[in-house]
Structure 1
């Protein structure tokens, strides 16, 4: 259950973070993305990928027959 909850929490947390970073005045300079935006987007994407993998593991563990 913990792994599945962690995966779901990831999808609750990171999209909000991405939205807030995207709206930040530090993310854009003269219409171009700054290093601040790029670094945080990379972190968010990696976290979403890892959260997905962890959530899938948790789901598969719950669905596995008891041995």
Structure 2
């Protein structure tokens, strides 16, 4: 499959955006009053952490695809 330079840049930008967005989200969820009860994590925190981790993994994969496609386009 051939990925155009335009699509490769989009994929890379999506990966970078993911690393900008989700750590901020995790920080905000971690500090939320609904995340902890008596020092123990709640379901709210656990679910949102799982969502954030999955999103970071997918963002990483998409960003790597973008980098590889840009390198292939340069050759």
Both proteins in one fold, TM over 0.5: yes
TM range (shorter): over 0.9
**TM (normalized to structure 1)?**
0.96
1:24 counterpart (32, 40, 47): 32
CA RMSD of aligned residues (A): 1.3
**TM (normalized to structure 2)?**
0.86
- For 2:48, what is the secondary structure of its paired residue? helix
1:26 & 1:49 partners in 2: Cα distance?
A: 25
- For 1:41, what is the secondary structure of its paired residue? helix
Moved over 3 A (4+): none
How many residues matched? 67
- Specify every segment of 5 or more residues in structure 2 that has no aligned partner in the other structure, as ranges: 1-8
- Specify every segment of 5 or more residues in structure 1 that has no aligned partner in the other structure, as ranges: none
Query: Which residue pairs with 1:61 in the alignment?
Result: 69
